[in-house]
Structure 1
Amino acid sequence: MRLATGLAILATGVVALGWWARAEYAPFLQERLALSAQTVAAASVHGVQATVSGRDITVSGLADGPGEQVALIAALDGLRGRRVVVDRLEVLPVADPYVLHVARRGGVLTTRGSVPSDAAQAMLQGEGVDGLTLAAGAPDAHWPEAAMAGLGGLNALEEGHFDLTGRSLSLLGLARTSAEEQAAHAAVADILPEGYDFIAAIDVLDDGTPPAYQLHYTAEAGPWLQGKLPLGVSAGDVAAALGLEDIDDGARVALLGEPGQVSPVVSALASWLGEVETLDVAVSPGGTVVDAGFGAGADLDLLGAALGADLARASNGLTLHLNQVVPEVAEGSERVHALSGRAEVLSGGYWLPVAGFAPTMQSCAENTDATLAANHIGFVTGSARLDARARSAVNAVAGVMRACVTAGLRAEIGGHTDATGATAANLTLSQSRAEAVRTALVARGVPADGMTAQGYGAAQPVGENDTETGRAANRRTAVRWIE
């Protein structure tokens, strides 16, 4: 009996001790488990939360990709005393490759790519970089510093963009001066983390070298600019000097140095644009080089003397080269002359205006008179040699006469002089000049059997011979159409 009573008392004590131990030890166990769980959570990239209820652990928040999610659950699952781990994590997507692109044009930032944390996103937003996607996959914890390095380099430029791909940073853009270029490099180098690569491709608007520019022109393409214009000089200034409304501008403008002006040589060339097929002008501190190309029938000796005299008055440091341009297209090809806007056809190696009228006796007379009034066919004084600028004038006349003579009409080329000198000499000179024009027209494809040449000397004046203006009007070539 005593034994039974003793055992009962002992059992009651053990149960009581168990209840007491459970009541006292359970909070201690939960506290220790919570501390361990929080230690695991604190090591996460985005600071997940781990809460403990009894021996159950619930983890919530952002996991930095599936890899961190698995690692967190495994670490919590391995804690001593836990019963279950409840996974309520939101898992960030992994960006691969991990890319950030930031561009600035006209003071406006455009961005795309990923950012590894809310803190990094807030830091970049403070610099105007917005619209990035929160994503896992950044190469390391120093990625935000690399992003700020790229932004610092970009901010030193006029415009451009940078790309941060993994641990590689590339910066491309435009700097006003070499000092800005150097500042961009320094801004990156100052804070770019160790282990990151950096490359840059930066164009400099003004590298400090003296202005040097090139003017190019072809009859097909018109004029365009390259190189570096002086400070204060624009492409519009060059166009105005050439007598044009605009010009294709591929040139930069100096940002340093003393203000400059358009080269006087460019202005002196304005009246020659209609004469040349090609023109290349290089203006530099060492002087000006002009290469002029003329079409078929060009008298390069006379052209060199006339053009050289015009340019010499504009510049002393001048080098002039002349050449004849041979068309590279077939006979009968057409083009639009860039300067005049007129359609031209290749005839006999010469570019002639396309006649825009139906040939009749009246229309041919009206068009030849108008063309001769606008295009003076000049000669070297006292000779029948066509002068330097006569080639383009004959081309203009040939465009009309080719259409009319080909249509079956006949024309007389008349040569006229002023009254200076002997009558017989003037008659002979006028005949030679009429024949010279007829020969030039035949070379341009006008049928020879449809033209005759006749010299009239000073017998048919159109102006007073006692004034220079009148004498100049009397020295002329005329075309008379014959029934």
Structure 2
Amino acid sequence: MRTVIGILILVLGYLFLGFVGTGKILTHWNFGKDTKEIETFVAQSAADSIPVTATLVETHVSGRDITANGLAENQDQKDAILSALNDVEGRRVVNDNITLMDIASPYAFHAEKTDDGNVTYSGNTPRNDTFSGEITSETLSLASGMPDNEWPNVVKKSFGALGALTNAKLDISNRNITLTGLAENLENRDGVAQLFDVLPDGYAANVNIDVTPTRPYVFDGQKTTDGIAFQGLIPSVDAAGEFTDMIGTDAQLKPAFGMPDENWPAFVGKGADALEQLTIGEMSIVDRTLTITGEAANPTVALAIQSALNDLPHGYTANADLTVKPLDEYTFRGSKNGEQIDYAGFIPDESVREDIAEFIGDQAENLQLAAGMPDENWPAFVGAGVDALNGLEDGELTIVDRKLTLTGTVENPNAADNVATQIGKVPQGYDVELHLTALDDGAPAVISFDYGEGANGTISGKAPNGLTDGEVAGALGLASVSGGITPSRLSGKDEIKTRLMAIGGWVPTFETAKASIGTDFTELSAVLRPGQACRLEETKAEMITAFGENADISLQVSQQEPANGSERVNEQTGKSEVYQDCFWLVKPEEPKPEPVISQPEPEPDPAPQTEDVALPTLATCQQRTTDALKGAKINFVTAKADLDPSSIELIDQLAEILRVCIEQGISLEVGGHTDSRGSAEYNAQLSLERASSVVAALVERGVDASAISAKGYGETDPIASNETEEGQATNRRTTFTWNQN
């Protein structure tokens, strides 16, 4: 027994010594492993526990002892490494041989690029792999103290700017960047500067880049018969305005460093002025030397150019090689498009320019000096042509030597005669050729209107300028019309449209009509719809007032007009009606005969019941008036209580409904409503007067006056917003409200 106990004690002691080394009891990983395997496991675990950012720290394992060697960026990184190593399973001890990096202050980066393109750099880095690409750690010093995590990207961005520079220096101290150097051109300089427009918070850049002077500094110009073109160098984009003021906006300008001096822009302007005075030529400026060649219009121009080029700043020179040649064809041209007239051509000298300026004003400045004017009569001949062109609507004037050709359009034949008169007699040896087209035949604007059954309208004739088929239809109160009017350039649109609108107010009363409308007259022959025979003369008088002066009106009664005493059955009420003085009145019922007393007969079998015609009720009367007003509206003359003629048919229809309903002991209120324009007092009075006009018209058509009343609500009961024209139109209305007596 003692032997067994001793053996167990030996086994347990062996296990205890083999499994316990780190203070942990019976860890799983070393069971059944030898010493070498345990060392390998600990070494791998130690290496894996080093943070990826601690690239300057490495571990060495002997048995189960871990030794950490190298540099840590700071105490926090060192503590994190030692803590991770102490957590390695199986280790016995951790030996600390980690030292802290020196703290660099300021944390810096310096680079230089020489003229031959060689780049050197030095500075600080927290790790060997901090930078990638062109920057390596070979010449950099390991140190802690990097301002922030943005610093490596700022260094790489700043270092990249050296690529566009020569003789450059880059200094970065903490978050301050200083860059100097030489750019090949302004574009490269601006490109480098733009790299530093956006930096992380806290960073600042001082960029001072010079530009290699461009040599030679040049400016050229070419003038042909098609125009003039300039191209050349300017000191900066901001200077473009100064140059375009002298040479125009079409010049091709390129910013470049190296302008000779502050006198150079004016030197360019002097050369441009000289070139513009030539008929054709070239100008070339190289640094401070100007060379100009070409043809001058006459010796006077050539001499003036040479004189101007003799007055130059110190150090500047000019060479002029000019010739003078008369033109083979001495021309003057004018083009008119509406109100715009443009002129071009030639003159022999400034005195002739002044003469022609009396005809064409400031555009005389566009004329070019040239030798070869036919004779002293030519300026007056040009003036006659300009006067003739002014009389055209559109056209072209061409004068070649002593021949004038005028082509274009005039308003009418009379205008063509006036143009021919303006040119008048020409000097001997001169010739005139006219090609004129009249836009109008000269007849006045008159529109014909033919209105037939079925509310169809046809228009024809000649319209004043701007009046369309759609406007004519709208003025007549029709959705559309057939036919069409021929447009013209004549005035009078407003006058004819006013007369059309006057007719449009009466169109609903016409059965047929024919009308001719001009700017100052109206001729109308119409047949009125049935039911208006009683008001024939009144209607004609109202039309004459509405149509204004020079209105010739002929009205006839419809052949469908019923004769007094005619009878019908009202389809809505089922009652018999008699036509009397333009109104259908309910026919009085004949008295029933006295009943005859007789012996009762045997009652026959009951016959099938027939339904009596339903008498109108309050609800049915309200519904009938609502249906009649659906899609229709009682209209009035603007700002007045007078009924518009277009409402007559609707009033007739309502009168038939009202007469039947009132017979059943029901009364009616006619309400007038306005929009909110004007004062409340004015609107209340206007609405009452309009409601009263409707009541009067209904009473004229046989409605019992004792059962119908008028009330003005003014603007107090809107059903739409008064902020819009549509809402205002909706609020202007007439309402019918039935009440049981």
TM-score range, shorter chain: 0.3 to 0.5
TM-score (norm 1): 0.37
TM-score (norm 2): 0.25
Q: Which has the higher contact order (CA 8 A, sep 6+)?
A: 1
Larger radius of gyration: 2
